[in-house]
Amino acid sequence: MSKIIKPKGYKAALDLRQTEQGIKLIKDFFQQNLATELRLRRVTAPLFVLKGLGINDDLNGVERAVTFPIKDLGDREAEVVHSLAKWKRLTLAEYQVEPGYGIYTDMNAIRADEELDNLHSLYVDQWDWEAVMKEGERNIDFLKSVVKRIYSAILRTEFLACETYPQLKPFLPQDIHFVHSEELIQMYPDMSAKEREDAICKKYGAVFIMGIGGKLSDGKKHDGRAPDYDDWTTPNSDGYLGLNGDILIWYPILGRSVELSSMGIRVDKEALLRQLALEGKEDRKELYFHKRLLDGTLPQSIGGGIGQSRLCMVMLHKAHVGEIQASIWPEEQRKECKEAGMNLI
């Protein structure tokens, strides 16, 4: 059964030339706005890291990293990053970034286990960012303030895209709604996590869903999250667990919710030990990154990733991420998309 959503009567609003110009316009404008909002400095990032140091993001813990041997290191293995969640925190310490400031970078990854559809590709490109927190900022109010600043940058980007290409009409609301994943269960008890996301996003247009990674009252997780970067077990001021979450919007072209960013306040020593124990990953305490965190030589930080191709996709009103980026798709899917008006690059 096809996983592709084919909007009825879909026709791309922009041709190939306009699309390529639009991609550059959005990427240049958004990253400058993001850097200004969060006081971030651009840094250069790796495409791969050495295996066995605990630096790579292991996502949900089941995705395989693309690995290869390095001849000049005695065939020691490197792995293509899944994201730079842990690397960024090491970099904040190395660059001695002061509280209230941070870094951002272009993150390029290969996720070989991704299920390919309108939103998911083998190739992932994100703006990965990380900022050093000040004393007293380890709370839900600070997290919400950062989310609002990111959403403001998204809104300004939508305005620019629609001004540049008048055939595009804005659809995002002026404000983003906050809700905890446990609240969603109470609101929609008979729905799956994905159905709950669609329902809340359709209602509000833009939502930040908090508390992702831990088990909820139904015994299930809203979604998976590695135990060693986001803090999803510390109680917040709303009485729920979790200082992290996802930014999602309702995307009318596909008639579904779309996640644009995953982010959160990062684990401190106590949260790391608690979450490693919960997930049965206590052996990670012996890895380089985790030792640094437990030794207190890494700063307290907040960070996340914002999908570049996905943001361009929604800003330019495309129905498939393959209309934005060059990747590999099953031939049958490529043919199916072409017949539905989606011309994959």
Active site residues: 57, 111, 126, 246, 259, 262
Whats the size of the chain, residue-wise? 345
Q: CA–CA distance from 103 to each of 30, 38, 92, 268 (Å)? A: 15, 9, 7, 19
Instruction: Please name every residue paired with 208 in a beta bridge, in sequence order, or none if there are none.
Output: 178, 247
Residue 243 CA to residue 89 CA, distance in Å, equals 17
35: which 2 tokens?
Answer: 């850097």
Q: Indicate if the alpha-carbon torsion angle 94, 136, 60, 323 is positive or negative.
A: negative
Residue 176 CA to residue 204 CA, distance in Å, equals 8
Number of H helices, E strands in the chain: 9, 11
Please tell me what DSSP assigns to residue 205: S
- Nearest Cα neighbor of 213 from 193, 186, 192 is 193
